[in-house]
Amino acid sequence: MNLPVPVALNRLAAALRVLSLGMGLAARGISDNHRTLPSLKPINSSHVMLNSVAADVAMTPPFGWLKRRVVVPLALVSAVACSCRAQEASLEPVPTAVVTHRAVPLPPKANAAPLWVALDDHLGRGTTTQASGPLLSLSSAGQQSLRLRDGAGTVVAEARSLRLSWRLAPLAEPVEIARQIAGPFASFESAERIANRWREQGVVARVAHPGDWEVWAPMDAERLAGVPVRRSARTLTTEMKAVLEGPSGGRTLQGPLMLEAPSGLLWQGGVLRGPFRLQPDAYGSWTLLEQVPLERYLEGVVPHEIGAGSPRAALEAQAVLARTWALANSHRFAIDGYHLCSDTQCQVYSDPRQASAAVRQAIRATAGQVLAWNGEPIQAWYHASNGGVMAGGDEAWAMDSLPYVQARADGSKAWINGTVLPLQDVSSVRGLLARGEGAYGTNHPRFRWSRTYSAGQVAQALRAAGLSSGVPSALSVQKRGASGRVLALDIEMAAEGQAVMLRLDGIRRTLRRLPSTLFVIETLGPDRWRFNGGGFGHGVGLSQAGAIDLAARGWSFERILSHYYPGTTLTTVQPSSSSEPGQAP
């Protein structure tokens, strides 16, 4: 296949980076981008033999990592080598390898093993050479002791409670880190879109979450049009180590650490079964994660997302969506060596014991079932309430439109006939918000809502988001999507202050008291505004309030899912042998 010139050049650059990196790794034993090359041997400077150079371009589809292999012909490499030898009789000393981040091994594929779900991240942040960051305390939920093993599998502690601190230890050799950084982004979806643009050019780009969502790429990657980046380069001389605290002092441990909890682990007011794992991440800190079978994971998600008392069909629909979402998004934290988080950046996951008998029955009734489009699990977005109109995916995040999540009225025939899309002017949105009869999910408390902001409150929100420090003087909607949701909100500043434009999910990430972006703005005075709106959440995919309403009307979960994701099909994935439904202790 003939590649466009920019793509070919990027892939050639990637291949030559691998050649240089391979030489560096052979001499220094350092891994890059989650890969180690144990078979490489030091290169004899007087006799170099190369058959081909190949670079792995990593992609992140739902079911693990696919690789495309880019091969550089021998003739091309030989030409480069000969050109160098024409100037010098022997090779120069191998330069220090430069990588984009600290290397962390990839987790296993999500459909072949338990999910690796982070319970707490960035552990040890704030540690200095003089003092540890916040300690981590772990307690057994029963009489049996916790059992902690080090990276070699040796039991290093057995006790009902454990305390870990952190220390910075010197590296055997410095590691050079250099990268281009795009972001921050308000969501993973927006960051992934930028990463995919780089990957289409043959660049190994990775989505990272050091605090906000970012995209990291090598320094020599060609910049993307319209995407501002900053550059970062530094030398790492230390690494974080976990220290087991005891009566006679601390013991530094070699990670990753494995934790067994026969009676369960007390965590945030609940009990989790485990097993658990403590491991370094890409930022120099650590993560505590649980290795939890998929079907048990659902027991910790479904009741917290839709409510354990919801009608059966609504619970079954939520179970299918939670399972689909987990598999389709299991690459979110690949750079840090795990699959998913346990907060609202992913799906809220907590004590599976809170799953009622009805929740467990819904999970069993839909065991292994996922929603698919063209044979792949869909992006199974859902939210609390859509306010009577579904949003397209491109109204919530910077992404391409998807056929199964489009703007549509959500209600009876009468409601649909009275809701003419697109709702792209203020009068049509105001008319929608004045109605409700015939829409699905009207019982939700935020089906209609009102919020008031003063200029000072808007300014404070902007400062908290790292934006303008001026005083807002006017707020105006610049663009709406087909469902009437605000895509661009302009905030003018008094005096010489610079205006701020909030877009898509960045609107609610900044003005956090707004339940949704389906709103109109009413000016109450020179420095005060009222937002009148509808719905709670991004509005894409299934409305949980709508699903509860439809289930109460007798709809099956299959019909509910078909209504919110038209054109998709139910299919079954085979769980791993350890992914049977279970009850937490």
DSSP state at residue 3:
P
Paired tokens of 319: 């179970």
The pLDDT mean for the chain works out to 85
| Distance, CA of 388 to chain centre | 28
Report the C-alpha gap between 459 and 284 in whole angstroms.
34
Measured from the Cβ of residue 479, the count of other Cβ atoms closer than 10 Å reads 13
Q: Where are the domains of the chain?
A: 5-96, 115-292, 381-540
What per-residue confidence (pLDDT) applies to 76?
Answer: 38
Query: Locate tokens 């479904």: which residue?
Result: 302
* For residue 134, cis peptide bond before it (omega within 30 degrees of 0): no
| Distance, CA of 582 to chain centre | 26
From the list 289, 302, 37, the residue with the least C-alpha distance to 138 is: 289
DSSP bridge pairs for 525:
528
| Distance, CA of 368 to chain centre | 23
pLDDT at 97 over 80: no
Tell me the per-residue pLDDT of 144-190, one tens digit each, with 9 for 90 and over.
Answer: 999 999 999 999 999 999 999 999 999 999 999 999 999 998 889 99
CB-count burial class (<10 Å; 0-12, 13-18, 19+) for 324: buried
Residue 281: half-sphere exposure toward Cβ, Cα within 13 Å = 23
Query: Locate tokens 């920019």: which residue?
Result: 6
Q: Please give the average per-residue pLDDT across 349-374, as a whole number.
A: 95
pLDDT at 67 over 90: no
Phi and psi at residue 206, in whole multiples of 5°? -130, 140
The residue that leads in pLDDT, 107 or 79, is 107
The string of DSSP codes covering 99-135 is ESS---PPPPPTTTS-EEEEEEEEETTT--SSS--S-
pLDDT at 464 over 70: yes
Three-state DSSP string of 474-523: EEEEEEECCCCCEEEEEEEECCCCCCEEEECHHHHHHCCCCCCCCEEEEE
Strand, coil or helix: 7:
helix
What per-residue confidence (pLDDT) applies to 574?
Answer: 66
Tell me the per-residue pLDDT of 409-429, one tens digit each, with 9 for 90 and over.
Answer: 999 999 999 999 999 899 999
Tell me the per-residue pLDDT of 523-563, one tens digit each, with 9 for 90 and over.
Answer: 999 899 999 999 999 999 999 999 999 999 999 999 999 99
What per-residue confidence (pLDDT) applies to 180?
Answer: 97
Phi and psi at residue 35, in whole multiples of 5°? -120, 140
CB 183 within 8 A of CB 214: yes
Task: Read off the amino acid at residue 40.
Answer: L
What per-residue confidence (pLDDT) applies to 112?
Answer: 80
What is the sign of the dihedral through the CA atoms of 533, 537, 538 and 544?
Answer: negative
pTM over 0.75? The answer is yes
Q: Please give the average per-residue pLDDT across 469-473, as a whole number.
A: 89
Report the C-alpha gap between 483 and 395 in whole angstroms.
8
pLDDT at 344 over 80: yes
The residue that leads in pLDDT, 34 or 529, is 529
Strand, coil or helix: 94:
coil
What is the sign of the dihedral through the CA atoms of 20, 24, 27 and 32?
Answer: negative
Strand ranges for 206-323 from DSSP E? 206-208, 213-217, 229-246, 249-253, 257-260, 265-267, 270-272, 276-280, 286-292
Question: Which residues fall within 8 angstroms of residue 169, CB to CB, at 6 or more apart?
Answer: 238, 239, 240, 241, 252
Phi and psi at residue 529, in whole multiples of 5°? -140, 145
Strand, coil or helix: 213:
strand
* Cα angle 234-239-245, degrees, rounded to a multiple of 5: 150
Tell me the per-residue pLDDT of 486-525, one tens digit each, with 9 for 90 and over.
Answer: 999 999 999 878 899 999 999 999 999 999 999 999 999 9
Task: Read off the amino acid at residue 561.
Answer: L
Strand, coil or helix: 463:
helix
Strand, coil or helix: 399:
coil
Report the C-alpha gap between 494 and 473 in whole angstroms.
5
136-140, 300-304, 404-408, 496-500: least confident range: 496-500
Task: Read off the amino acid at residue 367.
Answer: A
What per-residue confidence (pLDDT) applies to 357?
Answer: 96
